[in-house]
Structure 1
Amino acid sequence: MGMYRDIDLESRSRREFIRAGAVFLGGMWLFPTLPTFGSAKEISLRTEVPWFKLPLRIMHTVLRETDVQDYDVDIVTNYVLKSGANVLCVNAGGITDFWQNPLPAANLNPFLKGRDILKDISEACKAKGIRVIGRVDFRGVVPEVYEKFPDWFAKNRDQRPMMMTYTKPHLHIACYNTPYRNDYANEYIGRVLQAYDLDGIWHNSPGYDGICYCPYCQEAYKAYNGRTIPVMGESSTEELDAYMGWKRYAADAYMDKIKRTIKSYGEDKVYTAEVFSMYEVGRRVNNGIDLKNAFDHFDILVSVAFLTENAENIHYEDYNYAQSIIKFLKSAAPEREAVVMYGGNGTSHRLVIEPSLDVKIWLWEILAVGGRFWNCYFTNVPTIAYDTRNAFVEEDANHFVREHAELLAGHVPVSRIGIYYSRPTRLHYRNELLEEEQFGEAIKGMEAVLIESHIPHDFILSEQVSADKLKAYHLVILPNVHCMAEAEVKLLTDYVNGGGNLLATYATSLLDQEGNPRKDFALSQLFGVNYGGERWNTRKDNYQFISAPEHPLVAEDAVKTQLLHQYAYTLKTMPLSSAKVICHAVPTVHNQPPDKAWVERLASEHPTIVEHAFGKGKVIYFANQPDVTTHQMGHGDARNVLARAVNYLVGEENLPKSNAPSSVHMGWTRSIETPGKYVFSLVNTSSGPKRPTRELISVHQLSFRLPLPGQQLISHKILKNQGSIHVVGEPGFVTIEIEKLEDFVAVYLEAEYV
């Protein structure tokens, strides 16, 4: 079957696979005691702390083949230093090699002319104190390489080569089990690390889509479960799910082998690759690389989060998504650097400027919650590109991190509110849902409410949930968490019974972890309602009747209205006798003809918003979708009731108070090494009505009062200001007055427990 045959996939047992895919515990959450490494200053001086756990500012020049013709290492390294970066990621190769690769499947850059770009740039970087990461890409090969080793690559069912059609030229795909991705790739990486002074490897595009029927996959799959590989459109859902599980196992074995090769050259050698979007769902048979693979293998957690997508019709991501991805990665692995890869107009229009002001805001958003930057720039460096207008756009943010690295090291977001991120629910969204919303819309809507209300939060990953983790939170938010295992149900029930608070929406816990329907909510005793067996499309001509006008969620509205907007889809529910119904569903009021736009009775017997006490805790349950509505259309009623629910359940004394407009985004991080050390920051997104942003509108006279339970401020330092900043401490609180905010301000705070 080819030149190489050292694939150890078959030797790993089914038990190992089950263990690898099981729930894992790890990372630490908000206020629990964490391992002590000393102060941030000590961290930077202690050799046992890996360089990749200190503040990173990465420049990534994704070279075209023609860029080597005038490649000037002095221009490149000078740009890295002037821009404030401390790491350069540069092409090694794979699809096209930028070094004199002697291996049999080499594809040397035709413009090298005997030159070794990797040698030149790595030596130049080390001479100037810049770390270097080599970029490799083994997703596929050009036809000339395929023809030399045709049995090294993925095959369709009829044994024709699987092709990557989104590339020009089309590439021949390599699956996880072939010699190209395994033996050849590992020998390639070993030679590169041995020959050049590199600090690690960036593994570009490690996944592949589809089903491979090459002899290696057929043999390995048969050895794993005794089955033949299923066929899309012919095989059952169960068979396809079994294949996808095995594909994750194969991907895990593949990445584990790559990492072991890299680490054999030193534990300080980095292995990293992109983590796909936290909202990416994938097809029933996807590329096999799940978020858990990334958390298990990568030394630096990198999420590709461009301002726009790689598409013909693009939109600009909400600014807060940059914050969200860092909060997500930090929640999963707080001890690791969380980095956003940005740049290049989402790669589809990479040769011209991407909106510079949007990029700057994007970077401040990342920094505000403890994240770092990876500028993925295509074609050499920005100063010698066709379009030089993006040159040094990252300079301010990079230099801020460099100047204050000692204070910023090892920071994670401050939060006592956790949004529950359910992996089973994400996987369930691969199936077509009746509601037709995309996975993540409920989370995005909930986040939008929290961010505009200046309420800090982070995420609770279902793979990491435990009783100890839940204890760190005043409030756990379940945004339409359809799928839930019995173990999760018990943890959440115990959490509320012990005094925790819960906010849940729509179909939360109505399915088990495999997506099978339950007759009732698994959390019905917490919600205070039973499921009535129906779901209604209430997107049009539907309302909610305010049944408890005195309740804090609706009291402000009830002065002037009996009705609230109804939200997206609604479940038929029946209240328990112990529940307090805040709003009831209104029968549909058809708007045409207007003469008939009435109903005999506004309030039905079916609640839409319920408060329920359980044990020592409280729960607010929405039978509808205010979170999805907030994301899709933003109606004020939906945003108001969600924000008030959070305030009610957490208590205003435990939340920041501010007069800032919602366009001012707050960042608040804490040191995981030294308790009591914080960085407070603000990002201004106040601008005109349309993205991309063309000008920022300064805001003035902002005030924030931050709760510091059991602590007293002892010192502070202004890190960046655009006017006067006054900081006043009192037991349990700190007040910060900001005269002017143009784009970004930051203050370092140090408190002690009293």
Structure 2
Amino acid sequence: MPKDPKPLQTFSSENEHIITRRNFIQSSYALVGGMMLYSPYAIASDPQRVVAQDRDHQWFHQPLRIMHTVLRETDASDYDARVVVDYVLQSGANALCVNAGGIVDFWQNPFSAGNINPFMGKRDILAEISAACKDKGIRLLGRVDFRGVLPEVYEKHPDWFAKNHDQRPMMMTYTRPHLHMACYSGEYRNDYANKYIAQVIQDYGLDGIWHNSPGFDNICYCIHCQTGYKEYNGQNLPLLNESSHEELDMYMGWKRQEADRYMDRIKKTIKSFGEDKVYTAEVFSMYEVGRRVNNGIDLKNAFDHFDILVSVAFLTENTEHIHYEDFNYANSIIKFLKSAAPEREAVVMYGGNGTSHRLVIEPSLDVKVWLWEILSMGGRFWNCYFTNVPPVAYDTRNAFVESDANHFVKEHEEILAQHAPVAKIGIYYSRSTRLHYRNDLVEGDRFGEAIRGMETVLIENHIPHDFILDEQVNAEKLKKYTLILLPNVQCMSDLEISLIKEYVRKGGKIIATYESSMYDQEGRGREDFGLSEVFGVNYKGEKWNTRRDTYQFIRNKDHPLVIDEAGRTQLLHLAGYTLKTRAKPESGTLCVLVPTVHNQPPDKAWVEELSSDFPTIVHNRFGQGESIYFAYQPDVIAQQMGHPDARSLLFRAVLELAGSATMVETNAPSSVHIGLTASLLNKGQYVLSLVNTSGGKRPLRELLPVRDIEVKLDLGKATLKKSRVLKSQGELQIRAEGNHVVLEIEKLEDFAAVFLET
């Protein structure tokens, strides 16, 4: 069991301090110990604005630990609200989400489109759990699902639902049984859904609504959609397999508008019962591209409407070919959500059981590490079980798997409230680039691979960072970052390009790869890079497949990016695709493309000249700032195959341009991940976290403790006033060395965290 935390400890800057705790962290850019701690670190939004918005301190702005029971019809037969509530309390959760209904109702729904659970009899499951939660002070959310209905409900109101072009009912074929789909314009998702939600909030005193699967795919041709689209642009609805991309894109503009209006109606209904009533649904994957015609609910809609930002991210997905998601994806999600809306709780919906095999557990160690990863960036937990609650499921092995993380948050709730990641390095996230990936691209890579590769390099080298969302970018936001990374940010508007240029001109620094700025925000190609002046190169109209038998020749052997290798090799690895470019006279070429050296026959594997005139890496100064541009895809290579040349070059580029903004030096292995968050409510308060993922092949069989960690933190200026170890597993020594803090950590088992106040 963890030891009780010791009281806050006051430090003086002259002395070395030793703290003993059950576990502390290896570190990050923390602010510690008896030193001066400077905090010009970027938090995704203006802290003063955030604090002003959050003065009402609604319950859903506090650290959330949500239990979610997705009940099956048969669970109603022996449902025991007391067992559910006991589990919520013992596991350390403070809110419960439970079925209200839609497809199947778990209350005595009197409406004509209702479908009361036949296994419930005359009972009212929603009433029972509502009363039990109120008795114990547990917040209760109702799960509603209006994506479709069973045939017997459809027959009562066939004009409420979606229609194909030939006016046959539109069916949801991935469900068993198939459901009749409901569109955004029809009666079912609108008048009926809002009447339904108002009834369950009023009658059962719900604290909010979880809107399950709010999206609607495909094109509906019901009379409501036909009329609405005609009013929108005077045209008929397009045909999916016959209309042009332009016509389909126009349709999607209308569909996004309808989705937005649909969610706005739902939210207004919920908020009519009080501002403390929550509206939330899943925020879709930051890497999901979708089809040209998708459901029209994008991340921006979620940020605009949902009180709690919830991203569904299970360790495994419901696919035929199953893999375990990288641990760092859990904290990436939180960084992304907090970058967009730091004042809101950012929550990952995971499962002690999976989505691929719902009736058996996910590997327990992986689940625990997943939770610590989420917490390390200021995120919270939403445990979704698909078979009642864990103690009464078929497989109970993961019952209480979330307890350590939940109770940690509960114990330190006051400290952890309203935290967001801190960073001076930002990864540029482009929504227009994501949409551009709906097209058939020559490279064949998926959107997000460049971002993930870049982030992997940062995480494994313990460099704090967050995201800069293109929809929120402005000059003030960019000024908060020492270094901005453009991982193949293909699509950029003229305004974005102007802002980046001015940022670099005034002293900012960027690293960019491959086709960054080669297209406008609509995906229309440019003749040259929009940021050509900043990169110091011109595009020469060709894209080369350099996946095989290609290399880079080191031209500038003294440059910091290559000096360590230059004495031992003339060539560096090259893969992926490469753009044909020419360096501007004033820019500095580090490496150039080698003409293809064919692999076979080996006797002929040579070329007359290794060098060429086509740069692969260019270091350029622009105004008071500078850039490093890669004409190929080192970020994608880092993600797909992980060759050390790609990772080393990206890492050294960051070191070269970021300087002290990397904030940390450590001997910790890459399997130890570091998080630093700052309070938005109390200036100068921070939490520094370490997560150990050392364990070999996934899923983990065991966690291997990491010992004798040293961390050197560059903190700038600010005096540390108080410190408190929140969780640790060994001796911790803290000492000041000039403008740095040095941490010596005896042992890290799974997770460690420390509170710091300056």
Say yes or no: does 1:725 pair with 2:732. yes
Q: Secondary structure at the match of 1:101?
A: coil
1:310-325 paired onto structure 2 within 5 Å: 310-325=318-333
Give 2:305's match in structure 1, choosing from 274, 297, 305. 297
Using the alignment, how far apart are the partners of 1:446 and 1:88 within structure 2? Answer: 37
Give 2:48's match in structure 1, choosing from 20, 34, 41. 34
Using the alignment, how far apart are the partners of 1:613 and 1:32 within structure 2? Answer: 30
Partner of 1:697: 704
Say yes or no: does 1:483 pair with 2:491. yes
- Contact 1:567–1:638 (Cα < 8 Å) also in 2: no
Using the alignment, how far apart are the partners of 1:235 and 1:344 within structure 2? Answer: 44
1:505-524 paired onto structure 2 within 5 Å: 505-524=513-532
Using the alignment, how far apart are the partners of 1:671 and 1:636 within structure 2? Answer: 37
Q: Secondary structure at the match of 1:532?
A: strand
Q: Aligned pair in 2 of structure 1 residues 732, 33: CA closer, same or farther (>3 Å)?
A: farther
Partner of 1:575: 583
- Contact 2:353–2:385 (Cα < 8 Å) also in 1: no
Say yes or no: does 1:175 pair with 2:177. no
What's the CA shift string for 1:693-720, capped at 9, x where partnerless? 1111111011222222222222211100
Say yes or no: does 1:586 pair with 2:594. yes
Using the alignment, how far apart are the partners of 2:184 and 2:377 within structure 1? Answer: 36
Partner of 1:130: 138
What's the CA shift string for 1:84-105, capped at 9, x where partnerless? 0000000000000000000110
Using the alignment, how far apart are the partners of 1:36 and 1:463 within structure 2? Answer: 18
Q: Aligned pair in 2 of structure 1 residues 352, 564: CA closer, same or farther (>3 Å)?
A: same
TM-score normalised over the length of structure 1: 0.94
Partner of 2:30: none
Partner of 1:744: 751
Residue type at the aligned position of 2:113? A
Give 1:399's match in structure 2, choosing from 407, 410, 415. 407
Give 1:374's match in structure 2, choosing from 375, 382, 386. 382
Say yes or no: does 1:711 pair with 2:718. yes
Give 2:694's match in structure 1, choosing from 686, 696, 714. 686
- Contact 2:365–2:701 (Cα < 8 Å) also in 1: yes
Higher relative contact order (CA closer than 8 Å, sequence separation 6+): 2
Say yes or no: does 1:554 pair with 2:562. yes
Q: Any stretches of 5+ residues in structure 2 without a counterpart?
A: 1-41
Using the alignment, how far apart are the partners of 1:135 and 1:739 within structure 2? Answer: 46
- Using the TM superposition, name which of 554-563 and 632-641 deviates more: 554-563
1:190-589 paired onto structure 2 within 5 Å: 190-343=198-351, 345-589=353-597
Using the alignment, how far apart are the partners of 2:163 and 2:705 within structure 1? Answer: 57
- Contact 2:507–2:626 (Cα < 8 Å) also in 1: yes
Using the alignment, how far apart are the partners of 1:714 and 1:730 within structure 2? Answer: 17
What's the CA shift string for 1:301-321, capped at 9, x where partnerless? 000000011112110000000
Partner of 1:3: none
- Contact 1:30–1:416 (Cα < 8 Å) also in 2: no
Say yes or no: does 1:677 pair with 2:685. yes
Q: Aligned pair in 2 of structure 1 residues 36, 187: CA closer, same or farther (>3 Å)?
A: closer
Task: Please state how far the C-alpha of 1:233 moved relative to its aligned partner.
Answer: 1.9
Q: Aligned pair in 2 of structure 1 residues 253, 543: CA closer, same or farther (>3 Å)?
A: same
Q: Secondary structure at the match of 2:397?
A: coil
Residue type at the aligned position of 2:384? C
- Contact 2:735–2:742 (Cα < 8 Å) also in 1: yes
1:35-74 paired onto structure 2 within 5 Å: 35=49, 37=51, 48-74=56-82
Partner of 2:742: 735
Partner of 1:10: none
Using the alignment, how far apart are the partners of 1:31 and 1:109 within structure 2? Answer: 45
RMSD of equivalent CA atoms:
1.3
Using the alignment, how far apart are the partners of 2:477 and 2:535 within structure 1? Answer: 22
Partner of 1:664: 672
Q: Secondary structure at the match of 1:736?
A: strand
Say yes or no: does 1:161 pair with 2:169. yes
- Contact 2:510–2:628 (Cα < 8 Å) also in 1: yes
Using the alignment, how far apart are the partners of 2:625 and 2:753 within structure 1? Answer: 36
Q: Any stretches of 5+ residues in structure 1 without a counterpart?
A: 1-27
Task: Please state how far the C-alpha of 1:652 moved relative to its aligned partner.
Answer: 4.0
Using the alignment, how far apart are the partners of 1:499 and 1:216 within structure 2? Answer: 54
- Using the TM superposition, name which of 113-122 and 697-706 deviates more: 697-706
- Contact 2:367–2:401 (Cα < 8 Å) also in 1: yes
Q: Aligned pair in 2 of structure 1 residues 210, 631: CA closer, same or farther (>3 Å)?
A: same
Using the alignment, how far apart are the partners of 2:735 and 2:403 within structure 1? Answer: 32
Q: Secondary structure at the match of 2:729?
A: coil
Task: Please state how far the C-alpha of 1:30 moved relative to its aligned partner.
Answer: 4.8
Give 1:634's match in structure 2, choosing from 639, 642, 649. 642
Using the alignment, how far apart are the partners of 1:536 and 1:189 within structure 2? Answer: 56
Using the alignment, how far apart are the partners of 1:241 and 1:718 within structure 2? Answer: 53
Say yes or no: does 1:113 pair with 2:121. yes
Report the number of matched residues: 716
State the percentage of identical aligned residues.
Answer: 68
Using the alignment, how far apart are the partners of 2:745 and 2:127 within structure 1? Answer: 49
Using the alignment, how far apart are the partners of 1:240 and 1:696 within structure 2? Answer: 50
Using the alignment, how far apart are the partners of 1:30 and 1:36 within structure 2? Answer: 10
Using the alignment, how far apart are the partners of 1:157 and 1:83 within structure 2? Answer: 50
Q: Secondary structure at the match of 2:48?
A: coil
Task: Please state how far the C-alpha of 1:567 moved relative to its aligned partner.
Answer: 3.0
Residue type at the aligned position of 1:742? E
Q: Aligned pair in 2 of structure 1 residues 195, 729: CA closer, same or farther (>3 Å)?
A: farther
Using the alignment, how far apart are the partners of 2:141 and 2:47 within structure 1? Answer: 34
Using the alignment, how far apart are the partners of 2:295 and 2:458 within structure 1? Answer: 33
Task: Please state how far the C-alpha of 1:35 moved relative to its aligned partner.
Answer: 4.1
- Using the TM superposition, name which of 732-741 and 407-416 deviates more: 732-741
Residue type at the aligned position of 2:708? Q
- Contact 2:547–2:574 (Cα < 8 Å) also in 1: yes
- Contact 1:133–1:198 (Cα < 8 Å) also in 2: yes
Using the alignment, how far apart are the partners of 2:661 and 2:198 within structure 1? Answer: 56
Partner of 2:20: none
Partner of 2:19: none
Task: Please state how far the C-alpha of 1:124 moved relative to its aligned partner.
Answer: 0.4
TM-score normalised over the length of structure 2: 0.93
What's the CA shift string for 1:153-189, capped at 9, x where partnerless? 0000000111111110000000000000000000000
- Contact 1:713–1:730 (Cα < 8 Å) also in 2: no
- Contact 1:123–1:197 (Cα < 8 Å) also in 2: no
Using the alignment, how far apart are the partners of 1:480 and 1:531 within structure 2? Answer: 15
- Using the TM superposition, name which of 613-622 and 703-712 deviates more: 703-712
Task: Please state how far the C-alpha of 1:267 moved relative to its aligned partner.
Answer: 0.5
Using the alignment, how far apart are the partners of 1:502 and 1:287 within structure 2? Answer: 35
Partner of 1:23: none
What's the CA shift string for 1:349-382, capped at 9, x where partnerless? 0001111000000000000010000001111100
Q: Secondary structure at the match of 1:375?
A: strand
- Contact 1:413–1:668 (Cα < 8 Å) also in 2: yes
1:80-91 paired onto structure 2 within 5 Å: 80-91=88-99
What's the CA shift string for 1:401-437, capped at 9, x where partnerless? 0001111111111100100000110000000100000
